[in-house]
Structure 1
Amino acid sequence: MPLEVIFVLLATSAAFTISAAAGLGGSLILVPALALVLGTKEGVALAALLLALNNVVKVFAYRQTIPLAKSALVIVL
């Protein structure tokens, strides 16, 4: 396995672990780390995709506690 892939996996794991523990900071770690390894354009694009997927998983995991009536306007937008 190439060293770049290992670094990306470690950076992603660290970013999501800190994000889950602190509630923020995932993008602060992930974007610069990926930009160093993959380049700015590719790093930002991959980080955006991973962070969006992370948020979709969080919505699915907490779907029972989301007040849909109160959040309908945000969901529509």
Structure 2
Amino acid sequence: MGKTTGRLGNRLRELRQQAGGLTQQELAERVGVTRQTIIAIEANRYSPSLEVAFLIAQALGVGIEQVFQFEPGR
């Protein structure tokens, strides 16, 4: 079986705004990560661990599938 390729996309910036204009710093504090981590996730430069992904979704009050989407490669 071959290696799966693809990209993890997200709607983090949009959902932060819908959550009352939550800042990157505020979200980072709620999740227990650094602001730099949130910045990297939003920019798709870093894929969070499953635990952090669930914590982000919980902090935003939505399901994980509303925050993150797997976009398969070719």
Give the alignment's TM-score, normalised by structure 1: 0.28
Greater C-alpha Rg: 1
**More RCO (CA 8 Å, sep 6+):** 2
Which is strand-richer, 1 or 2?
Answer: 2
Which is helix-richer, 1 or 2?
Answer: 1
